[in-house]
Structure 1
């Protein structure tokens, strides 16, 4: 099982890919809690050049609440990260964490169904792009 799933978009500006990704996530009940601009951060902290790379911290509150009810330390694995990454030839890759893979580290069967539902919603958002 892979720890992420992805989709590559061609001929789309990076900023537009971010906007479309945020909207696709919103359509599946996710809000964005954080946006981490890796390119800018690495330039500022290490003075290195890096392609456009944004990490979106996505949260679906009802599912986060359910997960917290059955595993109070699950917050260490929240929110669900989704990346928007500029790759070669003007293409942009959108990739999301597979919650099933990350939940395997936790020995709590009650999380399995929640993780499956979140995975399905994330996959639907990514595939809709």
Structure 2
């Protein structure tokens, strides 16, 4: 396990909001930024992957 309690620091909420005129806004906190103080390169690599997955998913929407 890279960092067994990292879930306690991650905000796993995604906000989807109708902003009118047929537009939707999606917002999510950046997992890399949320854990910037963690001194664990393996964890940082996992979080970068999470960031890219979230970004790709949002772009599809």
TM bucket (normalised to shorter chain) is: 0.7 to 0.9
TM-score (norm 1): 0.41
Q: Report the count of equivalent residues.
A: 61
Q: Which has the higher contact order (CA 8 A, sep 6+)?
A: 1
Displacement of 1:104: 0.4
Cα distance in 2 for partners of 1:82, 1:107 equals: 26
Larger relative helix fraction: 1
TM-score (norm 2): 0.76
Greater radius of gyration (CA): 1
Question: Hey, which bits of structure 1, 4+ residues long, moved more than 6 A?
Answer: none
Structure 2 unpaired stretches of 5+: none
One of 21, 36, 44 as aligned partner of 1:104: 36
Q: Name the SS of the counterpart of 2:38 in structure 1.
A: coil
The residue aligned with 1:28 is none
The one-character-per-residue Cα deviations of 1:71-107 (angstroms, maximum 9, x if unpaired) are: 1221203463211022244532012221111120322
Structure 1 unpaired stretches of 5+: 1-68
